[in-house]
Amino acid sequence: MGNDRTTSRYLRQVTLAGIGEAGQERLGKSHAMIVGCGALGCTSADLLVRAGVGRVTILDRDLVEHSNLHRQQLFTNQDADRRVPKAEAGAARLRAVNPEVEVHAMVADFNAFNAEAVVEEGAFGTPDVLIDGTDNFETRYLLNDLSVLLCVPYVYGGAVGTGGMVAVFRPGKTACLRCVFDEIPAPGSQPTCTTAGVLAPVSSVIASLQACEAIKILVGADAAVSTDLLSLDCWGNTIQRLSMRDARTPDCPCCTERRFEFLDAVGPSAVSLCGRQTIQITPGSRAAIDLVKLCASLGSHGEFESTETMLRGRLDGDDGLQMTVFHDGRALIEGTDDPGVARAVYDRYIGT
């Protein structure tokens, strides 16, 4: 293995019985792809780069903002002042942490149109593990489709408020995400980090568990990989484990029938309305939205009013964009002609 510096860098890790020299060598030959470089993505990328995973791809569509800094550990105040793309700022920091790792940054929205190409044809080819650093269910179902299609393990994670969840889905060996959560939640039905806040140590714990599972997968420690859906609340001091050993459903559209509905989604989910500085967002799920509840959760982010069929208002932040949300989850984001910005605003304030 490598030079003296390399040997000493990984010394405390190689000493572990579960890793050893052989495991370290496997890590060095592995490729991890982290989709989303928010709090979860920052921490898991940092841990995997320090651990010596040979190639790491990070993908994110957003720019660093000051409201990210309390939890997104790869970014500095200067990154937020300069509004650097998260993938770029993250990659620069990761390369400084461990120059032996090849880091590929992709500044892109991850969606049905580009997901397959991004994962299969990125700089390092198909990854050995997919890590969830996303903030919405639509993207998670897309990652799950890809995981099953390409037979790449998917490490799911989510954190909001003071709690979070982690699970590992290994195609051919375990249930997939859709076996466990069969329906995409209705838009606005779930809290988001923007509407409910998030405690930084919670994201950090969840991302650390994700990185731990990824390391086990990459060194080939199959028997050690968690088969539970782990859910914890760090304020209420509760931990729940739900075994997923029998969670595979015989009629799962994804892993049984191999219908990749999120990859095959027809029609754009974000379209620009010509000449109006307005983007229309159509969510992946068709479930009705609770406008009164959504209006209440948006109250601290701007002036909003709801009627029976729609909600409308202007955000205090995000450049004062105006949002109109209809009861079927469709939304108009006014004040931008960038579909990526509009999708990000939708995911942050409404969520899926």
Per CB under 5 A, residues contacting Zn ion are: 176, 178-179, 252, 254-255
In the complex, least distance from residue 179 CB atom to Zn ion, rounded to whole angstroms: 4
Q: Are strands 129-132 and 55-60 parallel, antiparallel or unpaired?
A: unpaired
Distance CA 226, CA 330 (A): 37
Is the CB of 86 or the CB of 178 nearer to Zn ion? 178
Nearest approach in angstroms of CB 138 to Zn ion is: 17
Given the complex with Zn ion, which of 87 and 252 has the nearer CB atom?
252
Structure tokens at 274: 């010509």
Six-digit token string for 22: 């052989």
Q: Give least dist CB 171 to Zn ion, A.
A: 9
Q: Measured from the CB of residue 158, what is the shortest distance to Zn ion in angstroms? A: 18
How distant, in Å, are the alpha carbons of 91, 208, 309, 323 from that of 329? 35, 33, 10, 12
Report the nearest approach of Zn ion to the CB of residue 268 (Å). 26
Spell out the long-range contacts of 291-298 with Cβ–Cβ below 8 A and sequence spacing 24 or more: 291/188, 291/325, 291/327, 293/188, 294/188, 294/325, 294/350, 297/188, 297/191, 297/195, 297/196, 298/195, 298/349
> What is the spatial distance between Cα 207 and Cα 158, in angstroms, rounded to a whole number?
9
Residue 107 tokens read as 């500044």
176 versus 350: smaller Cβ distance to Zn ion: 176
Q: Which is nearer to Zn ion, 75 or 137 (CB)?
A: 137
**Which runs of consecutive H residues, i.e. helices, occur in the chain?**
4-9, 11-14, 20-28, 39-51, 77-81, 86-97, 115-121, 137-150, 177-180, 193-196, 200-219, 291-298, 339-349
Q: Min. distance of Cβ 252 from Zn ion in angstroms?
A: 3
Q: Which C-beta is closer to Zn ion: that of 170 or that of 178?
A: 178
Of 252 and 265, which CB lies nearer to Zn ion in the complex structure? 252
Using the minimum distance from each CB to Zn ion, give the nearer residue, 176 or 212: 176
**CA 57 to each of CA 68, 217, 222: distance values in angstroms, whole numbers, following the listed order:** 21, 17, 23
SS3 107: strand
User: 31 or 178: whose CB is closer to Zn ion?
Assistant: 178
CA 293 to chain centre: 25
